Amino acid sequence: MNITIFNKKYWRRRFGEPKNVRGYITSGREDDVVSLHVHPMGTDAMQALPEGERKMKHLEGHGTDVLTPASQETGVKGDLILYKGEWYECTAAQEFDHTLLGHLNYQFCEVPANSPRAADTVDPPTEDPNKVDRAALPIVTEVEMPPATKDTVGGVMVKDGSGLMVDEEGYLSVETASDDAVMRLFGEGGAADEG
């Protein structure tokens, strides 16, 4: 049951429809404020999670704001909330309308700094969510993919002539070398043995 006097305001980051831009899946985003009652997930609920997920931080909450949960099946990004300086992704939002105080129950999972979702957590809002004029919030139309490094997930660019290519759907492949190119590179040692 959600009794709103226990709610606090949190930053929510919502994402638009995903689209392929030059081989990168990207979407617009919007930061706004939601009123939720959020707390760490209880021990019983944590035990019900799959083994690998129990090591991650999880939250649960209640509210009347509609949040978009992540969907592995459709690839939809879940809404993120900023809780005590860390971003958490909404993994479930279930409607409970069995009482006069109908509400939604939510589950959230922390977004690790080394995960593919980390690119969605850059530039967090710095204003106090309690002092924000919701109508004045900007809409960011494109999220720029940070470059990949040996330690972080990010985007890569393919140089012309590198032998790599990206197709219209964003798939990376290796160009097949011509017989002439192999001969120039390896001489007679690169020719196929026909005997």
**Each residue of 3-60: pLDDT tens digit?**
677 789 999 999 877 777 666 667 778 889 999 989 888 766 666 565 656 567 889 9
Q: Which of 81-85, 102-106, 120-124, 188-192 has the lowest mean pLDDT?
A: 188-192
Q: Per-residue pLDDT tens for 112-137?
A: 888 878 888 888 888 888 887 766 76
Residues 73 and 134 in one domain: yes
Look up the CATH number of the domain holding residue 104: 2.40.10.270
Residues 100 and 179 in one domain: no
Mean pLDDT score, 166-183: 74
Enclosing domain of residue 66: 4-140
Q: What is the pLDDT of residue 102?
A: 76
Q: Are 27 and 35 in contact (CB under 8 A)?
A: no
Residues 169 and 132 in one domain: no
Residues 133 and 177 in one domain: no
Q: What is the pLDDT of residue 118?
A: 83
Q: Are 59 and 83 in contact (CB under 8 A)?
A: yes
User: What is 115-150 written as a DSSP string?
Assistant: SGGGGGGSS---S-GGG--GGG--EE--PPPPBP-S
What confidence tier does 74 reach under pLDDT thresholds 50, 70, 90?
confident
State how many domains the chain has: 2
